[in-house]
Amino acid sequence: MRRIITVASGKGGVGKTTFAINFALALSRIAPTVLVDLDTGTSSIRNTLDVSIQRDLYHFFRRNTPLDQCLTTLDAHLDPEGLFENFALVAAPRHSIEEIATMGPDARRRLMEAINRLPATFTVLDLRAGLDATVIDFLPLSNSGILVFTPRHPAATLAAGDIVRSLLFRKLRIVFSETSPLFRGTEGHLQHRLVNDLLDQVEDVYQEGLPNLDAFLEDLHASLGDTEWVTAIEDVVHSFGVYFVLNMFNGVEESWENAIRPFGTHLKNTISDSLTMTNLGWIVEDPKVHDANCRRRPILLEASGEGSRLGDRTRDPVLMELDRLEADVLGLPSPRDLTAPPRSAPRDEIALLGRDDPLSGQLEVLRRMYRSRGTAQVRENFAYITRRAHHLLRDLPQGTFGQPRLVPPEEIQEHVFGRKPGYR
């Protein structure tokens, strides 16, 4: 099971890098994990992690060093007991280099192929803020990856919604481009024009005619009937899953009012009623998190006060937290061995929401999580999110959450239609 999980936010400064580092560290306790710094202009991960870096993306791009030889592992002073020996990092260049910071299409394709070949079970991508191609190209096709936003910055919540929108529109533009196998025969050219005119109208938020993709799909139905490919496009939109983490959590009401409700409403109004939204959990605001970053020793690498010896799982603080969560929160028996065959997580923990409305049930989920997790500290927050993410990665069909491989733009059509008979 290889999975690539993106961490994105739309707006900057909400805690993507903090989350990505600690999430990758926690995942590495389950299976080999590589964290890739795709914020290639600011090299923020290397500034948050006190490791000596021999090779980074500079060597990959300029010296043609294979990506798997650009891996950095933790120094002994950060991980004296080797608890995180399954963690590795691909750092961005030490200083910004224009061509690497802005990555043109060829550079992106080359890096995508290399990431797809990395020797890791989990690959976590820390993306930069913004919505340009260096962000969108790396996002999964059928879900949002992990979006981070915070009740502290309401504007960032809307930017997170815009990521979902940009991602879906970019995908639909490619699916509906002139070379699409959908547009065949004499009618093909006209159909292509019709669909793209409608997409222009939905994308243009200043026009009121077609507010969201649901209206677009209705119009398509009205114009073209119930054809096989209208159904295919409905599948693209309706099966799209949105996953998010709330950083700097400060209570149920404020998180609901400032973050989750505006986010879900934005998705409903500008995209569709039928997206599934999944809350993976939250991280409380804690000065220890920031101090740890400043000391370049991420919070999960801080000694937790409990003794831990190499190889002694019962005393490994991170694994103990993970194990306890399995038992307490997810209602699962504590795993004797993490390599044991997968069990199914309770249904309501996997698909927390109905499919009718992205917002339905969200407040209840938040309250329920708060009842069981309200007093949890930062480290437990990370453990909880990691455990939930791991269950989703393991139990859901591939492509529902995260992605088995990055798909370059020229392969998207084949990816969407390749499996459907008649479109080859």
Ligand X SMILES: Nc1ncnc2c1ncn2[C@@H]1O[C@H](COP(=O)(O)OP(=O)(O)OP(=O)(O)O)[C@@H](O)[C@H]1O
Give the shortest CB-64-to-ligand X separation in angstroms.
28
- Closer residue to Mg ion in complex, CB, 16/266: 16
- Segment (H or E) for 229: helix 228-238
Q: Which residues contact 338 (CB under 8 A, 6 or more apart)?
A: 30, 319
Separation of alpha carbons 192 and 238, rounded Å: 21
- Closer residue to Mg ion in complex, CB, 39/380: 39
Please tell me whether residue 16 binds Mg ion under the rule CB under 5 A.
yes
Please tell me whether residue 39 binds ligand X under the rule CB under 6 A.
yes
- Closer residue to ligand X in complex, CB, 377/398: 377
Please tell me whether residue 285 binds ligand X under the rule CB under 6 A.
yes
Give the shortest CB-16-to-Mg ion separation in angstroms.
5
Residue 255 touches which of Mg ion, ligand X, none (Cβ within 5-8 Å per kind) = none
Q: Residues 9, 40, 43, 44: which binds Mg ion (CB under 5 A)?
A: 44
Task: Check if the beta carbon of residue 168 is closer than 8 Å to that of residue 266.
Answer: no
Q: What is the DSSP string of 146-198?
A: EEEE-TT-HHHHHHHHHHHHHHHHHHHHHHTSTT-TTS-TTTHHHHHHHHHHH
Separation of alpha carbons 199 and 210, rounded Å: 9
Q: Residues 43, 72, 166, 293: which binds ligand X (CB under 6 A)?
A: 293
Residue 286 touches which of Mg ion, ligand X, none (Cβ within 5-8 Å per kind) = ligand X
Q: Residues 10, 15, 161, 281: which binds ligand X (CB under 6 A)?
A: 15
Separation of alpha carbons 267 and 20, rounded Å: 24
Give the shortest CB-53-to-Mg ion separation in angstroms.
17
Give the shortest CB-39-to-ligand X separation in angstroms.
5
- Strand stretches in 367-422, DSSP E: none
Give the shortest CB-151-to-ligand X separation in angstroms.
12
> Half-sphere exposure of residue 288, counting CA atoms within 13 Å on the CB side?
12
Separation of alpha carbons 69 and 54, rounded Å: 10
Give the shortest CB-100-to-ligand X separation in angstroms.
16
Angle between helices 154-175 and 228-238 (to 10 degrees): 160
Q: Residues 3, 7, 9, 17: which binds Mg ion (CB under 5 A)?
A: 17
Give the shortest CB-205-to-ligand X separation in angstroms.
24
Site string for ligand X, 82-121 (x = CB under 6 A): ----------------------------------------
Separation of alpha carbons 253 and 244, rounded Å: 17
Q: Residues 6, 40, 44, 403: which binds ligand X (CB under 6 A)?
A: 44
Please tell me whether residue 12 binds ligand X under the rule CB under 6 A.
yes
Residue 170 amino acid letter: R
Longest dimension (CA), the chain: 73
Please tell me whether residue 289 binds ligand X under the rule CB under 6 A.
yes
In the complex, the residues that contact ligand X under the rule CB under 6 A are: 9, 12-18, 39, 44, 129, 247-248, 283, 285-286, 289-290, 293
